[in-house]
Structure 1
């Protein structure tokens, strides 16, 4: 039995932050019923879709194991289907424009009327109330607003690879839902959860932000020291880059031993962290000269074994070949819409029993509509009528 077996999630989300959250719930065993627009589906189904595939990598990555039901939320009959689903749901997750669910009669107070134990989570850019609540938000706009794109210099701001704010916002929502389900076990009451991407970005950057709050320095919260420590920096080797993370004296000593540099270890300019940082240019030049003839892959193994944190800078293709990922079950086999075999990313932790995992493939658009409606008590004639009306 997985942790969320028996928990039913009504998923009214689209794009990335919301589906990322409900995907994590599914990996723990929840039944996730994903409501999508008839004929169109989630905005990400077709976002940067690879020719010949039935859905985009962005959609596939966060929708494995869910059930897809097509419902027209602009139709009163369609909204009634959602209310019926909410009657037996444990969790509702939505990331519509703030206020939109309430306007459709699908807000927390509306659905609480049919299910008082409902945990209702709303995800948005800036929260459900206040002056900024109706502003649109995407991963990169939140990164720009929160300070993530500023590197402390005069270069053009750049967006880091990946959708870190979207995904982390989804993870904050996931954690909030788990806390609300635990609270419900103790109180018998549901709860309204309001998750904002801007809030989540500050949680993600907490260490840098607290530094700014303490010192008042106008530094980049995501990178307060930009490669200006010679032993915490990237260096080019003969076959790629190695990133050193030699923060402490024992790391420095291990580094010098591995690369065969006793002269650096005995040099008074590099005797301790303070002196090494005071002679950054000289030490970086010396390390660059030493490291250029090494193999990054071998350096990684040798430095890690010696106790000095260091990593070969990999591409995503190479990163996926790290053996421990497969050993720990992080790569989960699945199927894409259309039946292609694919691999998805698992939940990110290991348990001693009943661990996380997918319950099924990534669903084709509307693949589960008829089965779910039947479970709600709709007969074949009812379903045909709803389809004819454009409600599902």
Structure 2
């Protein structure tokens, strides 16, 4: 959560200083599924390397608290308190500070438990809703980590605005579990307000006549028709006038009832077409559609390339294209101002900014409490 929260604030222009271990954050050397984390989430951030377990680090961090507008921490329950860096200590150093803690759970019976994205997807109902019946599956991205970080960024910005007006900071807490509950809230509400059982998405009762993955001759395309007008344009574009005139298909409700046989007719038509042909006919009909792609396909997506939605980030000698923030301010996308930094690249500069003397700095470097180029 914290890396995403920091990235959002950094891309919006905040001066974000990442505190990491003197040997470097573990995400720098992750392999497999985690090998892209560091490069993706650490643009526009500076690096200060400090051993927070050293008693000497406390003075450094309290100086940082005095300097900062916001502190974001993503440690386990009570870790910051044990280090002497908890909310009360931070507030004493800087009453206007916004102190944000990222946790597995908000206060309650679960608050002392560690958590992970996949853990809360399972216990929060998201995995149940994603996979087939009896086969819960995590979402294909770390959606809870990233959404939790986004909610934290929203709360931080609101708290900063309040601090400007009141002169008092705030304690912000964002949690994985409650984020998951928010994401499945529509299903919780449906069970109480509606008359449809909550079943996994692959087994749900369809609300629309066509809202399906369609098999073409050389691939798959998802098509969703959510109005009578879309149905009429779809049939006209795909040469399905017989269906348009069929009295059994006069309304969406009637078409939903007819899905068992209607989808068989549509499947035969899609099988005659390539993905490109299907896309062209959908464009002509002005109906929602999307071909099935892999993440790597997005690197060559004409739309993302044309509108600047891919940014270049470099880690060492490797350069990668990664998504920009999915918004524009005055038609401008946030840019890469700072590439992901080496371990402690800005340590000495920030020790100066935080008011440490030359002698204090020398002791910290000599004892290995801080690290970085000199």
TM-score normalised by structure 2 residue count: 0.92
Residue of structure 2 in register with 1:357 after alignment: 335
Measure the CA separation in 2 of the matches of 1:356 and 1:188.
Answer: 29
SS in 1 for 2:160: helix
In structure 1, C-alpha distance between the alignment counterparts of 2:197 and 2:125, rounded to whole Å: 10
Whole-angstrom distance in 2 between the partners of 1:201 and 1:223: 19
1:36 matched to 2:15? The reply is no
C-alpha change, 1:386 and 1:183, in structure 2 (3 Å) is: same
Among 337, 343, 352, the alignment partner of 2:321 is 343
SS at match of 1:294: coil
**Residues 104, 221 of structure 1: alpha-carbon distance in 2 compared, 3 angstrom cutoff:** farther
How far apart, in 2, do the equivalents of 1:186 and 1:347 lie?
A: 29
Q: 2:45 matched to 1:45?
A: no
Q: Distance in 1 between matches of 2:83 and 2:99?
A: 15
- The number of residues matched between the two structures is 369
Match of 1:156 among 130, 135, 141: 135
* CA shift for structure 1 position 254: 1.4
TM-score (norm 1): 0.88
Of 166, 173, 179 in structure 2, the residue corresponding to residue 200 of structure 1 is 179
Name the residue aligned to 1:273.
252
Q: Does 1:242 align with 2:221?
A: yes
Q: CA deviation at 1:222?
A: 5.8
Distance in 2 (CA, whole Å) between partners of 1:305 and 1:179 is 44
1:105 aligns with 2:84: yes
Matches of residues 1-392 of structure 1 in structure 2 within 5 Å?
Answer: 17-39=1-23, 41-48=24-31, 56-127=35-106, 129-151=107-129, 154-215=133-194, 217-220=196-199, 225=204, 229-336=208-315, 338-352=316-330, 355-392=333-370
Gaps of 5+ in 1: 1-16
Q: Contact conserved, 1:148 with 1:220, CA < 8 A, in 2?
A: no
Q: Deviations over 1:175-230 (max 9, x none)?
A: 11111112222222211111111111222233223212323754147668266855
What's the offset of the Cα at 1:353?
6.5
Unaligned runs of 5+ in 2: none
SS in 2 for 1:29: coil
* Counterpart secondary structure, 1:162: coil
SS at match of 1:320: helix
Higher helix share: 2
